Amino acid sequence: MKYGTLGLRAKTMDNNGKLILGEFVLNKLIDIDMRYLLTYIIIIVLLPSFSCGHPKKDEVYIESNYVKVKHGRDSIYPYIILYQNRIDTNYSRREIFFDSNYTQPLSKFFYYKNVLEGPFFIYVNGSISMKGQYKQGKKDGVRLTYEDGKVQQKAYFKDGIKTGTWEEYNVKGKLIRKTTYDKKANVIDDTKF
């Protein structure tokens, strides 16, 4: 349609009867095309930065974004509650309980398409005993182990492999051991205090 308009309006006659190829009309159409082009470029560049219905990574682990889908027994544990993320149904959360009243938690794990993904929590007598992260089914990042509410161990993983400097503490919170691993989980240094 634009090209048709260009063809009709571009051929005009001046006062001397000469045929003019209406540069003004052509320039106006180029300006309009440039505005459309600019709009498309902005949309293409900025659109991926918006969520487009996909939740941000930290939003998928907010418990209020989950709805209960199963309560009861699964193939391994007798007392579980399975939740599904209402924003992205590929994410789920499984809570395992010690008792039939579902008051004493044992663990809480998040999954993406049934593969461990995100934070996990292990409980003993209702208190956190261990917490850490999974990435694509493998331990990744820091893992903290607790005893009586105090950090007993700081451990690090990358793609499921021990890495970095691990620290162990006594019940008073004093550092008692440092073990350093290379990228292949070989012990580089092991120091006891």
**Strands, E, within 45-186: which ranges?**
66-72, 80-85, 91-97, 105-112, 115-124, 127-135, 138-139, 141-147, 150-158, 161-162, 164-169, 175-181
Of 111, 79, 83, whose CA–CA distance to 96 is shortest?
79
Q: Please state, in angstroms and rounded to a whole number, the distance separating the CA atoms of residues 147 and 176.
A: 15
Do 69 and 86 belong to one domain? yes
Inform me whether the pLDDT recorded for 81 exceeds 60.
yes
Q: Which residues are CB-neighbours of 54 under 8 A, at least 6 positions away?
A: 88
Q: CA-to-CA distance for 163 and 79, rounded, in angstroms?
A: 35
Both 106 and 149 in one domain: the answer is yes
Q: Which of 123, 121, 69 is nearest to 91 (CA)?
A: 69
Which pLDDT tens digit goes with each residue over 83-92? Answer: 999 999 999 9
Kind plus residue range of the DSSP H or E element containing 27: helix 23-46
Residues 85 and 130 in one domain: yes
Confidence (pTM)? 0.71
Tell me the longest C-alpha to C-alpha distance in the chain. Answer: 102
Share of the chain above pLDDT 70, in %: 71
Q: 88 and 162 in one domain?
A: yes
Q: Same domain, yes or no, for 43 and 71?
A: no
Q: What is the pLDDT of residues 93-147, one digit of tens each?
A: 999 999 999 999 999 999 999 999 999 999 999 999 999 999 999 999 999 999 9
How far apart CA 160 and CA 155 sit, in angstroms, is 12
Q: Are residues 80 and 20 in the same domain?
A: no
Provide the domain count of the chain: 2
- Residue 59 neighbours by CB under 8 Å, 6+ apart: 65, 87
62 and 45 share one domain: no
HSE toward the beta carbon, residue 74, CA cutoff 13 A: 13
Domain, as residue range, for 35: 2-49
Answer yes or no: do 87 and 180 share one domain: yes
35 and 76 co-located in one domain = no
